A and B are shown apart, each in its own frame.
Chain A
Amino acid sequence: MEQNTHHPTRLPMRAKLATTVAGAAASVSRLAGKGDGSVIGGRIGLRLEPDLLSLLAAGRQVVLVTGTNGKTTTTRLISAALSPLGFQIASNVYGANMEAGLTSALSRAPDAPIAVLETDEKYIPAMVKATRPKVVTLLNLSRDQMDRAAEIWLLARRWREALAAAPDCRVVANADDPLVAWAAGSARQITWVAAGQRWREDSWCCPNCGAHLQRDGDDWTCRECGGRRPPVSWMLNGDEVIDPSGRSTSLDIALPGRANRSNAVVALAVAEVFGVHITQALPEIRGVTSVAGRYTQVTRRGCDIRLLLAKNPAGWLEALDVIAPPPSPVLLAVNAQGPDGRDTSWLWDVDYRRLRGRNVLVGGERRLDLAVRLEADEVRFRLVNDIDEAIDAARSPSLEVLANYTAFQQYRTVLGRTQ
């Protein structure tokens, strides 16, 4: 381990001042009830010392985690998987994943020799430069809130350039996602993981030359330029993980769904880079039951409610796989505030036909957009104004809730009050 090279006391004076002031601002923000304070704290710190993030990251072993979906969960799973090392781990557990959030996470844990940092997709180039990570984890790349996010082919190109310029960094990447594989392909050291790809609408064509890809199961090849899925060392195989020695182990994790099994395999691959064997890492991953309110079960007025968060078509596709089978009713909720993306067009990229014949409720501020979408897929539903109306309409001991970001947060706030 290289943790001895980390000396927080060596921070230059201005950086120390910046972290102190930033910490105070974060505390004030928390006391004022304005979130967890990580963004405002980080912003103030960076104002005082623009290189604060680099200074705070120096000497630590940093893992950056990015991708369109699964960042927050995978960050949590990697932190769990690394816990057998016995070191304090800095992490932006609340999902503040831009420069200020990363800065805040590091300044709050000045003595942590390891940092596992969720990173917004478009900040990867800048954050790779600033934190000089030991590992960059690339999960997947698909369309997401395109009214404010960069286009994904462009994003993949920027990842590729950033990783080519970071020869000391190991990339742990999903070989089953052609766009991710192309972006990761420029790295000097790569651990390829067959983490699967449920959503394919953004990768029918070769990211290198644009030709239509030949796809057979999870395998993909390009007949034009010869690009192909790289050979993998870790693999998700149904409910099992196959490790680099070829041994198969049942994952048996608490978090639901294929996407989370995929995230778990990626976390195991990252743990191995740190020398944590699967036999030590997997029990820690199994112990994670909820991530920032996701997958949480709550009871309100006698109804067991499970909350699922999904923000884009790929996320909704995976979430629809996860929801309990009939007769359990389903509440779908959509908003289009800033953090959600103000455009609801993405609803038309999701196939809802499997909800036909189910008890479906539709809520959220943009419920009419979703209603018209469901009508086109011949899915019957009822419109509801809030969670209590949904509970009344569900007439069931349980309710599955699938919501996008601010709709999810609104329900969480309401449900939190009834605990």
Chain B
Amino acid sequence: MRPLRLVWVFPDLLSTYGDRGNVLVLERRARLRGIPVEVVEVDSDQPVPRDGDIYLMGGGEDLPQTLATRRLLADGGLHEAAQRGAAVFAVCAGYQMLGVEFGGADDAPVKGLGLLDIRSGRGERRAVGEIVADVDPGLNVGRLTGFENHQGVTRLGPTVRPLARTELGTGNGDGTEGAYAGRVLGTYLHGPALVRNPNLADLLLYWAVGPLPPFPPQAEELANRLRAERLAAVTPQIA
């Protein structure tokens, strides 16, 4: 069986805050199901492999975000993979990069990758704190819990759907959070967003390999406890 190939795009530029967590969670949840996994870390001076199954992009500061976008546009590997139907999961700066354009240093518009019909710019205030959002019921993921730390405001075009409806926090800035189209998905939940959201991790795995066999519930007991603790900690703010 060909191993599931996870491609971590440019950790040398886009791995500001625990982004490795998403790679580790996907790897672990695949292995628990007996799916062999290969992790490919691609630095920004290397070509992006075309044959990955799930591509991951993390967060970064303004300048690295612009540099990474320029290199990905020149390389073309990520576009080829996305057109082929590979899953793409991007957080924070990586999410903005997926769009048609985003605000770079000094908020000057920068041409994005164009994989999602979204446009991002700079908001009035920095959004920092816990975020809770309810995912599009069609995706069967449930409630997201995470941390956001960005100053972006994102407008969604007609060919994408919002990933979730924001219950706490800022997200896209209009009551929605994240966006997806096909198997390309982005979110403002930053860093290790999949850690507290195993269902979102499983959605990506499902997109890549199809129906997923179950695994022993004790293997995710800690993750579920953490998820419950974090949601309980912010519940008074949601009501």
Contacts and interface: CB of A to CB of B under 8 A. Distances in A.
B149 A147 contact: yes
Given A348-B18, A368-B225, A376-B28, A205 B191 contact: no
Given A368-B229, A372-B226, A376-B25, A210 B16 contact: no
Contacts of A93: none
B124 interface: no
B18 to A, nearest CB: 3
Contacts of B207: none
A interface residue count range (under 10 / 10 to 19 / 20 to 34 / 35 or more)? 20 to 34
Nearest to B22: A348
A22 B147 CA distance: 39
Interface in A203-225: 204-205, 210-212
Interface stretch (B60-68, B158-166, B170-178): B60-68
B15 A371 contact: no
Contacts, number: 88
Given A151-B61, A205-B12, A349 B17 contact: yes
B223 interface: yes
Interface residues of B, number: 35
A207 B147 CA distance: 27
Given A212-B44, A212-B45, A345-B17, A152 B12 contact: no
Interface in A367-406: 368-369, 371-373, 375-377
Contacts of A368: 222, 225-226, 229
Contacts of A343: 17, 147, 149, 191
A146 interface: yes
A298 B102 CA distance: 53
A223 to B, nearest CB: 9
A389 B67 CA distance: 49
A294 to B, nearest CB: 25
B19 interface: yes
Interface in A144-167: 146-148, 151-154
Given A153-B61, A371-B222, A372-B223, A348 B192 contact: yes
B155 interface: no
A347 B223 CA distance: 15
Contacts of B6: none
A346 B28 contact: no
B147 A205 contact: no
B17 A346 contact: yes
A94 to B, nearest CB: 27
Nearest to A204: B12
A375 B28 CA distance: 10
A81 B81 CA distance: 58
A343 B190 CA distance: 10
A252 interface: no
Contacts of A345: 17-18, 21, 147, 190-192
A345 B149 CA distance: 11
B76 interface: no
Given A151-B61, A210-B64, A212-B44, A348 B222 contact: no
Contact of B21 (A204, A205, A348, A371): A348
B129 interface: yes
Given A205-B44, A346-B18, A375 B190 contact: no
B13 interface: yes
Contacts of B24: 348, 376-377
Contacts of A152: 61
Contacts of A347: 18
Interface in B189-239: 190-192, 195, 222-223, 225-226, 229
B191 A348 contact: yes
B132 to A, nearest CB: 15
Interface in B1-30: 11-13, 15-21, 24-25, 28
A198 interface: no
Contact of B129 (A143, A146, A342, A372): A342
A321 interface: no
B218 to A, nearest CB: 11
A201 interface: yes
Given A346-B17, A349-B18, A368-B226, A205 B195 contact: no
8 contacts: A151-B61, A152-B61, A204-B12, A204-B13, A210-B63, A343-B147, A345-B147, A376-B21
Given A210-B64, A345-B21, A345-B190, 19 more contacts: A147-B147, A151-B62, A153-B64, A201-B15, A205-B67, A210-B67, A342-B129, A343-B149, A346-B17, A347-B18, A348-B191, A349-B15, A349-B18, A368-B226, A372-B223, A375-B222, A375-B223, A376-B25, A377-B24
